Structure 1
Amino acid sequence: MSSKRCARALACNTIIWAAGVKASDAAAWLETPADRAGRAIVQSDLTIQDAPNIYVIGDTASVQWKDGTTVPAIAPAAKQQGTFVAQRIRHQLTGRTVPLSFRYRHLGNLATIGRNEPFLGNSV
């Protein structure tokens, strides 16, 4: 297969858009286990094993969720993780009781398919 771009149009009734991403190499440079996607496997408090002061969040982290699945690697989850970690650090610095486990709240899915064409779903 040639690496040159094809400039010819192909008529169709269905258009499929897909994007591929590669996980950060953080698991490798932290020397911690990674999942199939390469995300660092974290404890319930979002720290890596044997390193209670190293937090991994967002799409770099593989966080256990419900029914053996992992928290989706999406912005709302990353925001919740960031808030959780900030609260843990603040509580550690002020000597207060530290929240033990991160709990993800899925608030639904939203995608913009085109101008003025939103899609909203609430299942995962």
Structure 2
Amino acid sequence: MNCRCHLLSDSAHGRITLYDRLMSGHTDPISLPGQDEYNITLEFNNITQWLCYEDFLALEWNVRSIDTSAYFEAHPYEERIHLSTPSRFLTFSFRVHELLELRKMLSRAVARLHWFEVLRNARN
């Protein structure tokens, strides 16, 4: 089984990469396998995380839905936004500019990932 990678988004702070598994003999660069057949890596500052398709979309939605103004009004002495993960023992903390950069990266990556999905579905 072969593996192919696609850069979904990058910035000065990190990158998001799609790794898909190809069936032997399958060489079409546009046709991606099913959603359960690829993984996504998120590298941002000192964070590196492997995510499945559903977890990646959930992360993007979670980051997109954070209202930074409301957060800092409710927590006026905080300098960072604390983002929880599925593990109750693991949270990440971001300054506002870091969170906004992560939000842009995730948005670009999801848009590109959806284009891969559209192209794959159009070819089938």
Query: Normalising to structure 1: TM-score of the pair?
Result: 0.31
- Write 1 or 2 for the structure with the bigger share of strand: 2
- Write 1 or 2 for the structure with the bigger share of helix: 2
Return the index of the structure with the highest Cα Rg. 1
Q: RCO (CA 8 Å, sep 6+): is it higher in 1 or 2?
A: 2
